[in-house]
Amino acid sequence: MGMAGTGRAEAHGEAHDRGGSSISRDGAPDAGARAASPPPPERAAHGLDASRVSWSAGSRLILDGVDCTAPPGAVSGLLGPNGSGKSTLLRTIAATQVPDAGEVRFDGDDLLRMPRRRRARRLALVEQDASTDLPLSVLDAVLLGRIPHRSLLAGDTDADRAVAHEALVRAGVEELAERSLATLSGGERQRVHMARALAQDPALLLLDEPTNHLDIAAQLAAMTVLRKLAADGVTVLAALHDLNLAAASCDHVVVLSGGRVVAAGPVRDVLVPDVIEPVYGVRCDVLPHPRTGRPVLVFGD
């Protein structure tokens, strides 16, 4: 399973390790005492900003100078046909592969240069069809998301188990907690991987086809979870195949074609025939949804 990170519990321990000395009444340092480090100033949330990212597989250029942003507290959809570079871009943002060029920043911090454990406290990656040969129960798989939040030799705590249980509930798979991961269907595994990512408590959540293998009800439930996370301040970037699901659930979309960004911005501005038809090679009409007013894409003559 691809495990990449979490977040809002940023590394306060790192600040505490620096320590400091207290000051006596006459202004001189009191060498016998340590003052508590002042809390760090709150950092303004800038969201995700990947710029000029390129990556090649041998002689084949997969990402060609990609600029991709995802606003904080929003659900952003990463769209494009098969082979457009969506999965590669997500793995590059998560630093599971190193780009040939470019930089990736989240809230101003360089994710590519960040120590792995600290990065694992900032972001989580849910990969498409992630699998494992380890004989894990569903609960054990979800508890893997807590690893970045505890010391290297520590086992699962009651607090970890409480967080994992909440993640299972939010992902709608709490009844599977004691099942073996190997016995689950593709859709069940997909929701368990989302629960693992939720247990990481990420500030940035990256998902590669999170609705893959899911039926319609489960797809809508998954997107509802993502919207709730965004409302809580999480920055969400999800690669999606279903353009109508993106139109119904996303705030912002980025469209890739041939490893390049061809359009990015609010859903209403980007999911239009002038963008969709040349990228996907299909006739497209856009109608307003009768209840929500959001775009509905109709394909074919």
Instruction: Give Cα separations from 48 to 17, 83, 141 (angstroms).
Output: 28, 23, 27
Q: What is the pLDDT of residue 51?
A: 97
Q: What is the pLDDT of residue 301?
A: 80
pLDDT of residue 135: 83
**Is the pLDDT score of 207 beyond 60?**
yes
Q: How confident is the model at residue 21 (pLDDT cuts 50, 70, 90)?
A: very low
- Report the distance separating Cα 267 and Cα 252, nearest Å: 5
pLDDT at position 7 over 60: no
Model confidence at 154, pLDDT cuts 50, 70, 90, reads confident
- The pLDDT tens digits of the residues spanning 219-273 come to 999 999 999 999 999 999 999 999 999 999 999 999 999 999 999 999 999 999 9
Return the pLDDT at 128.
82
Statement: residue 35 has pLDDT above 70: no
Domain boundaries, the chain: 48-300
Q: How far is CA 76 from CA 35, 68, 125, 227, in A?
A: 43, 10, 14, 10
- State the pLDDT at residue 134: 73
Q: From CA 31, how far away is CA 77, in angstroms rounded?
A: 54
Residues forming a β-bridge with 30: 22
Residue 132 confidence (pLDDT): 63
What is the pLDDT at residue 44? 55
Mean pLDDT of all residues in 56-84: 96
Binned at pLDDT 50, 70 and 90, residue 131 comes out as low
pLDDT of residue 156: 85
With beta carbons less than 8 A apart as the criterion, state whether 77 and 252 touch: yes
Would you say 54 and 63 are in contact if contact means Cβ atoms under 8 Å apart?
Answer: yes
Q: How many CB atoms lie within 10 A of CB 145?
A: 27
pLDDT of residue 155: 80
Mean pLDDT of 164-189: 93
What's the CA gap between 194 and 171, in Å, rounded?
7
Q: How much is the pLDDT for 133? A: 66
Q: Looking at 53-67, 124-138, 212-226, 231-245, which range is the least confident one?
A: 124-138
**Best CATH choice for the domain 48-300 from the list 3.40.50.300, 1.10.1670.10, 3.90.1640.10, 3.40.50.720:** 3.40.50.300
pLDDT tens digits, one per residue of 75-125: 999 999 999 999 999 999 999 999 999 999 999 999 999 999 999 999 999
